[in-house]
Amino acid sequence: MAIHIEYETELSLGFDVEPVITKVIDKALEIHQCPYAAEVNVILTDNASIAVINEEYRNLARPTDVLSFPMISYETPGDFSVVETMSAEDCFDPDSGELILGDIIISVEKVIEQAETYGHSKERELGFLTAHSMLHLFGYDHMEEKERIDMEEKQETILASLGLYR
C-alpha cells in the first residue's frame, strides 16, 4: 500500500496528518475488501489553490473542501471486479504493481473552518474528508438522494470504526 501525502500550504493543522489519513484510507480499503495493494495520492493545500483546481476541472471558481480524481470507472461502486476487464497499464503502477485509485486534494483552510462550524476536532474533519474522497475513488457519488444516503452511511461506518465521532 502506498499513500503519498504532500503538504503544500503554510497553514498548520497542529497535528501529524499522516496517521489520520493513513488509518482512514486503510479502513476504507478494508471495509470495501479491495483485493489489491493500492496507491493513493493526497495533497493538502489552501483555499486559493483548490479554487484554481475546482475551476479548471469543475468550472466552479470557488474553493471547496475536497476534490477527488478517481482513476477507475466502476460499473457498480466499490466493485473491484471491473479491474479484471481493464488492461494492467491502465490501472496498475508499473513499478510497484499497486492499483492506482486516484488523487485526493484537501483544503486545510476548509478543514479548520468546518471543524469549527460543526463543533468537532480537526482530526475528525480531516478523517471525514478523506473517507468521503475515498468513496469517490471507489465510484460512489451523492448526486441522487439514494446515493447520498448510501455514501453517508459508508462514511460514518469508516469514521465510527476508527473512533472519529462528531
Annotated binding site for Zn(2+): 132, 136, 142
Taking CA atoms, 100 is separated from 12, 55, 83, 89, 114, in Å, by: 28, 24, 11, 10, 29
Say if residue 137 is exposed, middle or buried (CB neighbours under 10 Å; 0-12, 13-18, 19+).
buried
Tell me the binding residues: 132, 136, 142
Burial class (CB in 10 A: 0-12, 13-18, 19+), 29: buried
